[in-house]
Structure 1
Amino acid sequence: MAFIACVGMIGAGLTFSAGEVSAQAFIRMGSHAPANIRSVLEYKKWMRQVEKDSGGTLVFKEFWGGQLIRSPRKQFEGMMNGIQDASPILPSYTAKLFPDFSLFALPFLFRDAEEASYVGWKMYDAGLLRGLDKVYVATVYTNDNGGMHFREKLASVEAMRGLKVRAAGPGESAMIKAMGGIPVGMSITQIAQSLSSGVIQGTLAGWQALDAFKIMPLVRTHIDYPFGVRGFFIGITKKVYDVLPAKAKQALNKNSGLSLSRRLGRLNQEEGDQLRRRAREDPNRVVFTLTDEQIAVQAKKFHPFHDEWIAKTKDGAKKYQALRRFIAEYRKGI
Structure 2
Amino acid sequence: MRLTKKLLLVLAVLSMFSGLALADGPVVLKFATIEPPQSDNNKNVWAPLFDKINKEGEGILKIETFAGGTLGRNPMQQIKILMDGVTDMVQIINAYHPGQLVDDPIIMTPFTANNCFECSMSFHYMQEKQMLRGYDDLVVLGQVCLGIYGIHSDYPIKVPADLKGKKLRTAGKLFHALAENLGATPVAMPVTKVAESLSRGVVDGTLQDWTGMAVFRINDVAKYHVLIPFGTNPLTVAMTKKKYNSLPPKAKAILDKYIGGYFTRFWAKRLYERVNEIQDKISKDPKHTLYTPNAEELKQWKAATDPVIASWNKENDRWDELLKTYKAGLLKARTEKP
Confirm or deny a common fold (TM above 0.5).
yes
CA 154–320 in structure 1, closer or farther in 2 if over 3 Å, else same: closer
Q: Aligned partners of 1:94, 1:308: CA distance in 2, in Å? A: 20
How far does the alpha carbon of each residue in 1:169-202 deviate from its partner, in whole angstroms, 9 at most, with x for none? 1121122222221110111111122112221121
The aligned residue for residue 23 of structure 2 is 16
Bigger Rg, which one? 2
* Residue 296 of structure 2 corresponds to residue 289 of structure 1: no
Deviation at 1:316, TM superposition (A): 2.5
**Aligned partner letter, 1:202:** G
Note closer, same or farther for the CA distance 1:195–1:301 as it changes in structure 2 (3 Å cut): closer
Whole-Å separation in 2 of the counterparts to 1:133 and 1:120: 17
Aligned to 1:197: 200
CA contact (8 A) 1:103 1:309 kept: no
Equivalent residue, structure 2, for 1:133 = 136
Correspondence list, 1:263-278, <5 A: 263-278=266-281
User: Are residue 324 (structure 1) and residue 327 (structure 2) matched?
Assistant: yes
Deviation at 1:298, TM superposition (A): 4.8
1:234 maps to which residue? Answer: 237
C-alpha contact (below 8 Å) 1:115/1:262 kept by paired residues = no
Please state if 1:3 is matched with 2:18. Answer: yes
Is 1:118 matched with 2:121? yes
Aligned to 1:233, what secondary structure does the other structure show?
strand
The 1:146–1:52 alpha-carbon spacing in structure 2 relative to 1, beyond 3 Å, is same
Question: Residue 52 of structure 1 aligns to a residue in which SS?
Answer: helix
Q: What per-residue deviation string (whole Å, max 9, x for no partner) do you get for residues 11-50 of structure 1?
A: xxxx733xxxxx5211111111101111112112111112
Per-residue deviation at 1:118? 0.4
Q: Percent identity at matched positions?
A: 24
More strand by proportion, 1 or 2? Answer: 1
The C-alpha deviation readout for 1:72-104, integer Å capped at 9, x for no partner, is 111111111111111111111111110011111
Q: Aligned-pair distance for 1:268?
A: 2.0
Q: CA RMSD in A?
A: 2.3
Query: Which segment is superposed worse, 284-293 or 124-133?
Result: 284-293
The more displaced of 270-279 and 304-313 is: 304-313
TM-score (norm 2): 0.87
Question: Among 68, 75, 78, which residue is 2:78 paired with?
Answer: 75
Contact 2:157–2:226 (CA under 8 A) maintained in structure 1 = no
> Which AA in structure 2 matches 1:150?
S
**Which consecutive residues of structure 1, in runs of 5 or more, have no partner in the other structure?**
7-14, 18-22
| Map of 1:11 onto structure 2 | none
The alpha-carbon deviation at position 258 of structure 1 amounts to 2.0
- The structure where helix makes up a greater share of residues is 2
Worse-matched range after superposition: 157-166 or 168-177: 157-166
Question: Could you say if the C-alpha distance between residues 102 and 136 of structure 1 is closer, same or farther in structure 2, counting changes exceeding 3 Å?
Answer: same
Structure 2: runs of 5+ lacking an equivalent: 1-13
Name the structure 1 match of 2:28: 26
Would the alpha carbon gap of residues 333 and 211 (structure 1) be closer, same or farther in structure 2, given more than 3 Å must change? closer
Letter in 2 for 1:194: S
Q: Is the 8 A contact 2:117 2:268 kept in 1?
A: yes
Structure 1 ranges of 4+ moved more than 6 A: none
Q: Is the 8 A contact 2:151 2:205 kept in 1?
A: yes
Q: Per the alignment, do residues 242 and 49 of structure 1 end up closer, same or farther by CA in structure 2, a change over 3 Å counting? A: same
1:10 aligned partner: none
- The reply on whether 1:173 has 2:176 as its aligned counterpart is yes
Q: What is the Cα deviation at residue 333 of structure 1?
A: 4.6
SS at match of 2:328: helix
Matched, 1:103 2:106: yes
User: CA–CA distance in 2 between the matches of 1:173 and 1:150?
Assistant: 16
Corresponding residue of 1:86: 89
Say whether the 8 Å CA contact 1:150–1:221 is kept in structure 2.
yes
Residues 294, 193 of structure 1: CA spacing in aligned structure 2 closer, same or farther, 3 A cutoff? closer
Q: Tell me whether 50-59 or 77-86 shows the greater mean CA deviation.
A: 50-59
Does 1:224 find its partner at 2:239? Answer: no
Does the C-alpha gap of structure 1 residues 80 and 265 become closer, same or farther in structure 2, counting only changes over 3 Å?
same
